[in-house]
Amino acid sequence: MDLVTLLDVSIIIEFDDTNKTIDDCGMCMEKLSNTCRKLKCGHIFHTKCIDLWLSQHCICPGCRYVLSEKTNNIDINKLKQQHKNSIKNLEASFFNKNLDLVTLQTGIDDKNIAYQAIKNNKGDIYKAIFDLTN
């Protein structure tokens, strides 16, 4: 949640424990004291506790009241691309290790031949090794 939205959905209060029935911060469970933040729903938290929460969420952690319809600026397409890239990198790393294993086991220095054997055997490196050694 951005600062403008935060200021719109809450107020800063000086906590006075003499006339409040709430004693503890709902986030850290420590006694409320001094400067606190009161949300639209009425829940009160330490500012340091709730500001951290609200930097990532738009709901009250106590009652799940939606404080703002605005969502954080998350680029879903960017996240999807990062996920695809990490999978591709993992697959490439796995394949390279298998390729190294086939060349090591068969004594074939030409990785193209080992690659073709793995491909012909649909990724089964043991069949690829068998085909190359027999």
> What pLDDT, in 10s, does the model give residues 6-44?
667 777 777 666 546 677 888 888 888 777 888 888 888
> What pLDDT, in 10s, does the model give residues 62-94?
888 888 776 555 556 666 777 777 777 777 777
Q: Give exposure, 117-132, as e/b (b: 16+ Cβ within 10 Å).
A: bbeebeeebeebbebb
Q: In sequence order, which residues have a C-beta less than 8 Å from that of residue 101 and are 6 or more positions away?
A: 125
Q: What is the 3-state secondary structure (H, E, C) of 87-122?
A: HHHHHHHHHHHHHHHHHHHHCCCCHHHHHHHHHHCC
For the chain, domains (ranges, CATH) are: 3-54 (3.30.40.10), 76-133 (no CATH)
What mean pLDDT value characterizes the chain? Answer: 78
Q: In sequence order, which residues have a C-beta less than 8 Å from that of residue 67 and are 6 or more positions away?
A: 1, 5, 9, 10, 39, 40, 41, 54, 58, 59, 60
| CB distance 101 to 132 below 8 Å | no
How are beta strands 35-39 and 10-14 bridged, if at all?
antiparallel
